[in-house]
Structure 1
Amino acid sequence: MKISELSKRTQVSIRMIRYYEERGLLIPTRTASGYRQFTAEHIEQINKIKILKDVGFTIEDIRPVMQCQLEAKDGQICGQLKEKITRKIEQIDQSVANLIQAKATLSQYV
């Protein structure tokens, strides 16, 4: 599929897809005339990037994560990815605890 279709399917701008490519997060094939060709796998990769960005990973954090996943065998993830995910889960847990406390405090006023 062309970049415009990938953009529509993922709800990610063409400009951002090109940026992901520049940063090494996506590697499309090229047609003989030079057009980028994307596959369903690229849709999955973009969806993973979106999830990682949503939980606070930076593009610089995401690049090694995506590389680790590409190199993973038999569903195993590399230690670097496990460590990053573990740290992120801890941060999310702390954020949830803070939000619960904030909700409890605010609820006293209504």
Structure 2
Amino acid sequence: MPRSARLLRREQFTEALATRAAARRRYFTLFARPNGLPLARIGIIASKRVAPRAVDRNRAKRLVRETFRKLRHRLGGMDLVVELRRCPAQGFNEAAGAEFARMLEELGARPSG
């Protein structure tokens, strides 16, 4: 994913996290705010407290990035922060990916502003 599609600085995360959660589901919380740019950007928070094994954190981030890559053209100018809420017992699979995809689709279907 190109640098232009990622949130890189602490201030960018802080500004997005200061907004109300756009969606909260079993495995993820999504924060969103308009960024004034023509493209969507994403940042991912996956803490050790939620997913102690690095393999689970990395798989969750990979799943989120891939789903975002497929749907980002529908989101417009948004900054998104995805926070991992819990780790499934079997690890991250298609069900968790589908949950995140639904969250993004709901967000993309909303009118901007």
TM-score by length of 1: 0.32
Report 1 or 2 for greater relative contact order, CA contacts < 8 Å, sequence distance ≥ 6.
2
Higher helix content, 1 or 2? 1
* Larger CA Rg, structure 1 vs 2: 1
Higher strand content, 1 or 2? 2
TM-score by length of 2: 0.31
